[in-house]
Amino acid sequence: MSQAKELRKQLMMKERKGAASFSDQEMKEAYAFAEGYKKFLDFSRTEREAVIYTKKLAEERGFEEYDPEKTYKPGDRFYVINRGKDIGLVVVGKNGVKNGVKLAIAHIDSPRVDLKPNPLYEDSSMALFKTHYYGGIKKYQWTAIPLGLHGRVVKLDGTCVDIRIGDDEDDECFLITDLLPHLDKEQAKKTMNQAFTGEDLNILIGSVPLEDSEEKELVALNVMKILNERYGIVEDDFLSAELTFCPAFKTRDIGFDRSMIGGYGHDDKCCAYPAVIAALDTELPESTVITYLTDKEEIGSEGNTGMQSDFLRYFIYDLAKAEGVEGYHVLSKSKCLSADVNAAFDPTFSSAYEPKNASFMNEGVVISKYTGHGGKYDTSDASAEFMGEIRAMLEKNSVKWQIGELGKVDIGGGGTIAKYVANMNVDVVDLGVAVLCMHAPFEVISKPDLYMAYKAFYSLFN
């Protein structure tokens, strides 16, 4: 070996090898792991649905609902739910919480199209819903694709109606219309932002009028009649509802080699699921572990179900109190992987990325030392010490990983929940899966990357 070759081997970073660096065994395990994930993703279109599915998975593996009155011992397993939209899974450690807790936190809300509080109208003998989109979407991607309706309506008497339409092939579905290319000369001159505005995202929901020659707007009335027969709701009930339209695509394998997964809501369920399974697979850790799935990340982690809420902090205080220690002492010794996705390098749009620091599909789980935007605004920048600790942990446990910055420095940016965790005086860094087409109705991840995320969370917990 020449001296330069020898020195390069000793001193320089290894070249990226993509999926070639995974062993046959790892690939086999990754493909098997993906099957459970696909089921989770198909069910979990919204945060409420993700909580229901996670609770079921946890109960099947011996988790019980948290009881503040109960004294827990090492190895005990329980879950806590916040308003049906966040769920925490806890496995009590040998040392409990006194040396801090190990946290993996992912978000289970995804970009989508929400109904306005007063949505129903009729125009040109078509019934439509007005919407207000949720999270960062490229609006044109959401037109002319099948959408399903999900959510909850609370009636005046307080009863709740849960709605879920569009997942089965036999279900009806809905869509946002777009202009045909034959007539789009004016539209095509506009910028992408102007060509599709928020007020254009109207959902087509019916076209048949109720039979009656006297009354007007009979198509919308007919829709309301169908909804009333099926769910017992009236138009006023939309005022106390959370209804949302999500893509109705099924999760599918992508590629001739079936190495990738296409689906709606990978951001951030492709981190939530492996964090959940890592907690389920943890039996008796040293310190108590918590996988926490949170809501509202896509709109800034606001509100009492977002990561800016005190819910998780108070829950950890309760765990501390039960063991006779101070909650803030527990937090100050805690460590967290903020489990969120990064943008996978896309060769078709390579100019948006800086390839030395971009994350690539099949290079393993991505650590983002910081997120934010130009000038490192709005981010928690993980310390060298914590980066060192996590890096050593991943290497020790043979977890393939890579570093990733979202894109070129001044081109845009994005945030995660990490900064809110850091504000609780917890050591935290972002770790997750690289995603292609992030925030599109159909996003793409790689199976081995998903599996490496699981191995990373399991390594933290154990």
By the criterion CB under 5 A, which residues form the site for Mn ion?
267-268, 340
d(CA 358, CA 389): 22
> Which residue's CB atom is positioned nearest to Mn ion?
268
Say if CB 288 and CB 295 are below 8 A apart: no
In whole angstroms, the minimum distance from the beta carbon of 340 to Mn ion comes to 4
Compare residues 149 and 433 and give the one whose CB is closer to Mn ion: 433
In whole angstroms, the minimum distance from the beta carbon of 366 to Mn ion comes to 12
Compare residues 134 and 458 and give the one whose CB is closer to Mn ion: 134
Do strands 342-343 and 434-435 pair parallel, antiparallel, or not at all (unpaired)? Answer: parallel
In whole angstroms, the minimum distance from the beta carbon of 439 to Mn ion comes to 6
Compare residues 267 and 449 and give the one whose CB is closer to Mn ion: 267
In whole angstroms, the minimum distance from the beta carbon of 106 to Mn ion comes to 8
Compare residues 267 and 295 and give the one whose CB is closer to Mn ion: 267
Separation in Å, CA 232 to CA 61, 174, 229 = 36, 21, 6
Order of strands, sheet of 443-446, starting from the edge strand that comes earlier in the sequence: 252-254, 260-263, 443-446
Q: What is the DSSP string of 80-106?
A: EEETTTEEEEEE--TTTTTT--EEEEE
The Cα angle at residue 337 between residues 102 and 290, in degrees rounded to 5: 35
In whole angstroms, the minimum distance from the beta carbon of 163 to Mn ion comes to 24
In whole angstroms, the minimum distance from the beta carbon of 139 to Mn ion comes to 16
Nearest to 264 by CA among 450, 451, 440: 440
Contacts of 219 (CB under 8 A, 6+ apart): 122, 125, 126, 127, 206, 207, 208, 209, 210
Compare residues 46 and 288 and give the one whose CB is closer to Mn ion: 46
Compare residues 49 and 268 and give the one whose CB is closer to Mn ion: 268
Compare residues 267 and 363 and give the one whose CB is closer to Mn ion: 267
d(CA 172, CA 168): 8
Nearest to 85 by CA among 400, 239, 282, 304: 304
In whole angstroms, the minimum distance from the beta carbon of 217 to Mn ion comes to 38
